Chain A
Amino acid sequence: MATLRNFWQFVLGSLRIVLRGNAWYWLWVSALLVPIGIGAAYYVRQLQEGLITTNMRDQVSWAFYIGNFTFLVGVAAAAVLLVIPAYVYNWKPIKEVVVLGELLAIASIVMCGLFVTVDIGHPERFWHLIPGLGSLNLPQSMLAWDVVVLNGYLVLNLVIVTYMLFSLYRGRQPRKKVFLPLVLFSIPAAIAIHTVTAFLYNGLPARPFWNQSILAPRFIASALCSGPAVLLILMQLLRRFTRFEIDDRAIWKVAELMAYTMFINLFLLGAEVFKDVYSNTEHLVFMRYMFFGIGGHTAIVPYMWLSVGCSIAAFVLFLIPTTRRNPITLNIGCVLIWIGVYLEKGMGLVIPGMTPDTLGEIYEYFPSNSELWIAAGIFSVGFLLFTLMVKVATPIMLGEFRAAGIDPVDPVEHGAAALAR
């Protein structure tokens, strides 16, 4: 009972924290509410009129929404790159920031869910997907598996974060017996959400561009580039604007790991390009559409070259120790790799996979304004959720937000650093 009462206090306290903030905080929140409002209005129209308000058609029947979904599954798994050094190699500087990765995962999965929701024709029939109530088509359907692993990953991260923060709130250390297995389990779970999402495309022989066994490894490699890039920037922002202390070594370590994953990402891309180009079968057509366009259809070509350019430039910046330790070049690198992977997953995976379509037709897809605004709205929901969660988590990690009767304490003793022990 005491725990429940405490938890209630914890929730109320969190709400109070979220509702208090300086002018910058409210400016940021209102800036997010604008695209949320516009996106919601466009979504209402999409619900009324149907997906005709998008530019998706039978020829390109999955597109921008599902591309963003795929990209965000990647971001969601970024936490792994923190969990592995922190808990597998017991590297202390990173343990303090693992929670950020978990929060990012939660926000990303929520965005993933929203992107799937806006993509489907009958979102109100969602209950057909609930096992027992509906008829989730397991083990056959890859989307059914994706529903399972994504929701599982969401729950896992919610449990980890809530347990960890609630423990610290009560001035206790999370119990290793409970905490550690969950955290370690999140590693294969993160790999699983990626793999299953990749298999969603990979298992379709109708689409030769996706039906290559290199797809799932490429998903994981690119995710381990883009996700940590977001985290690196967040870590620096937190360090700047709160009393949260993040060791430079933590940032450098993550950056070093990213240099490896970026290399693997580029290597796998190269392997795929080689296979398609050198063998020069009819399946080369998709890559041709992607990088050169076909018969004047070149809408996505500049984005694809931009993506490759950004990824290579970021790799160079991260490879050289001087530039990955310099905060300016490091942040440029983070933005570049983020753009590179976002374009590659958001447009370069889904659209060329469907262009030309299975009967050879080329429909040049480009997202409609409605799609762009709805996507902007969803991203804003994610940012807002993440902002609110970080707003609550930070004072807990700093030892400023504590249960009644437990004094605000020295963070070095009881806050974030407690986790590092």
Chain B
Amino acid sequence: MKQTLPSRREFLCAVASCAAAATAAGCSDLTHTGWFQSRFREMSEAEKKDLVAGLEKSNTARFGKEVTVGVEPPMAGAEFGYALDISRCIGCRRCVYACVEENNQSRDPQVQWIRVLEMDKDKGVDFAHADAYYDAEQVPRDGHFYLPVACQQCENPPCVKSCPVGATWREKDGIVVIDYDWCIGCRCCMSACPYGARHFNYAEPQIPAEQLNPKTHYLGNRPRSKGVVEKCTFCIQRVRNGRYPACVEVCPVGARKFGNLLDPDSEVRAVLENKRVFVLKSELNTRPRFFYFYGL
């Protein structure tokens, strides 16, 4: 692929120069950004550096504060897993809002990567009777339990398969990511996702500058544009630097567990080895890396 890249750019540059009489110098600037930008996956380190520098500059100017855009690659020897204790979750939605703030989701129109479903104890995990819009003075409510759902980071992700342009893929550490600058917004992945985990920017995302989290990752929480799909990345900007995802740290009942599946001492491994665990819609063979368990 690497060898075909320059010719692709040359071609696009040629097209552009016909149309806009761009100078050769001006055109080479355009190859990493804007309409001509190639796929992040295929970029060299130098190209990524250029790209990120440009993004940092424009976002810093736009939000009036120092914005960084990381491109940290997967860590060697790490494959992430997540476990959520549904016997503990009380449905308080602290995770939803911590996620919104950490990952710069649009406040208007509202985008939320985590959806907390209220379910009836006497029906069990049954989406047909789930309610995401419950409101109460206090939770948990009698007779109910709560099932938060976000991207399940499938090992066999149907969304990745469906993307016509390869704008979404699974990284070596198991995180399914999206190149927002390559996504064409066809929403095939949203049709393909069995967990409603993917969200589309139906309008230009609005984030008040003072609320922007300036520590971002290219494949994660950097500000998005309208017309692209986004979803949970296990807080890629945090976990690739060793930190826990924001939802793990905010959960008041400690229902959320995160760690390296390859590390026998990790919390997730402890859950998998000692608790009763299930995954959502296991019959679809998506093999989620997001596990639900009964801690009690």
Is there direct touching of A and B in the complex, by C-beta distance under 8 Å?
yes
Do residues A50 and B158 form an inter-chain contact, with CB atoms below 8 A? no
Q: Name B's interface SS.
A: loop
Do residues B186 and A120 form an inter-chain contact, with CB atoms below 8 A? yes
Interface stretch, picked from B47-55, B78-86, B124-132, B270-278, is B124-132
Q: A205 to B194, alpha carbons, bound, how many Å?
A: 7
- The interface bits of chain B over 163-184 (1 if a CB of A lies within 8 angstroms of the residue's CB, else 0) are 1111100000000000000111
Interface residues of A (CB under 8 A from B): 49-52, 54, 56-59, 61-62, 116, 119-129, 132-137, 140-144, 147, 200-201, 203-207, 282, 285, 354, 356-361
Do residues A358 and B185 form an inter-chain contact, with CB atoms below 8 A? no
Q: A206 to B166, alpha carbons, bound, how many Å?
A: 20
Do residues B195 and A121 form an inter-chain contact, with CB atoms below 8 A? no
* Residues of chain B within 8 A of A135, CB atoms compared: 39, 165-166, 182
**B219 in the interface (beta carbon within 8 A):** no
**B279 in the interface (beta carbon within 8 A):** no
Do residues A49 and B195 form an inter-chain contact, with CB atoms below 8 A? no
* Residues of chain B within 8 A of A52, CB atoms compared: 109, 202-203
Q: Which of A57, A136, A141 contacts B162 (CB 8 A)?
A: A141
Do residues B190 and A58 form an inter-chain contact, with CB atoms below 8 A? yes
Given A49-B203, A137-B165, A141-B163, 7 more pairs with CB closer than 8 A = A116-B186, A121-B184, A121-B200, A201-B191, A203-B162, A205-B158, A206-B284
* Residues of chain B within 8 A of A56, CB atoms compared: 202
In the complex, how many angstroms separate the beta carbon of B43 from the nearest chain A beta carbon? 13
Do residues A121 and B185 form an inter-chain contact, with CB atoms below 8 A? yes
In this complex, how many residues of chain B approach chain A with their Cβ under 8 Å: the count is: 51
Give 16 pairs: A residue, B residue, CB < 8 Å, sorted on A.
Answer: A50-B203, A50-B226, A62-B187, A62-B190, A120-B227, A121-B186, A121-B200, A122-B227, A124-B35, A128-B167, A137-B165, A141-B163, A144-B165, A359-B117, A359-B127, A361-B196
In the complex, how many angstroms separate the beta carbon of B8 from the nearest chain A beta carbon? 5
Q: A282 to B196, alpha carbons, bound, how many Å?
A: 18
Q: Which of B12, B132, B185 has the most CB of A within 10 A?
A: B185
* Residues of chain B within 8 A of A58, CB atoms compared: 190, 196, 198-200
In the complex, how many angstroms separate the beta carbon of A197 from the nearest chain B beta carbon? 13
Q: A152 to B188, alpha carbons, bound, how many Å?
A: 21
Q: Which of B4, B192, B202 contacts A51 (CB 8 A)?
A: B202
**B57 in the interface (beta carbon within 8 A):** no
In the complex, how many angstroms separate the beta carbon of B226 from the nearest chain A beta carbon? 4
Among residues of B, the one whose C-beta sits closest to the C-beta of A207 is B191
Do residues B164 and A129 form an inter-chain contact, with CB atoms below 8 A? yes
In the complex, how many angstroms separate the beta carbon of A120 from the nearest chain B beta carbon? 5
Q: A357 to B192, alpha carbons, bound, how many Å?
A: 11
Q: A285 to B161, alpha carbons, bound, how many Å?
A: 27
* Residues of chain B within 8 A of A124, CB atoms compared: 35
* Residues of chain A within 8 A of B183, CB atoms compared: 121-122, 125
Do residues A50 and B129 form an inter-chain contact, with CB atoms below 8 A? no
**B204 in the interface (beta carbon within 8 A):** yes
Do residues A359 and B195 form an inter-chain contact, with CB atoms below 8 A? yes
Q: For window 88-117 of chain B, which residues contact chain A by CB distance below 8 Å?
A: 109, 115, 117
**B149 in the interface (beta carbon within 8 A):** yes
The 8 closest A-B pairs by CB, nearest first: A121-B185, A121-B227, A360-B127, A206-B194, A143-B164, A52-B203, A52-B202, A50-B226
Do residues B165 and A360 form an inter-chain contact, with CB atoms below 8 A? no
**B193 in the interface (beta carbon within 8 A):** yes
Q: For window 48-80 of chain B, which residues contact chain A by CB distance below 8 Å?
A: none
Do residues B196 and A357 form an inter-chain contact, with CB atoms below 8 A? yes
Q: Which of B186, B187, B192, B204 has the most CB of A within 10 A?
A: B186
* Residues of chain B within 8 A of A141, CB atoms compared: 161-164, 166, 188
Q: Which of B128, B163, B226 contacts A282 (CB 8 A)?
A: B128
Q: A142 to B159, alpha carbons, bound, how many Å?
A: 11
Do residues A358 and B127 form an inter-chain contact, with CB atoms below 8 A? yes
* Residues of chain A within 8 A of B200, CB atoms compared: 51, 58, 61, 121
Q: A120 to B186, alpha carbons, bound, how many Å?
A: 5
* Residues of chain A within 8 A of B203, CB atoms compared: 49-52
Q: A183 to B164, alpha carbons, bound, how many Å?
A: 29
Q: For window 1-52 of chain B, which residues contact chain A by CB distance below 8 Å?
A: 4, 8, 11-12, 35, 39
Q: A141 to B189, alpha carbons, bound, how many Å?
A: 10
In the complex, how many angstroms separate the beta carbon of A205 from the nearest chain B beta carbon? 5
Given contacts A62-B187, A133-B12, A140-B161, contact A361 B132 (CB under 8 A): yes
Q: A136 to B191, alpha carbons, bound, how many Å?
A: 19
Q: A206 to B154, alpha carbons, bound, how many Å?
A: 13
Q: Which of B129, B191, B226 contacts A62 (CB 8 A)?
A: B191
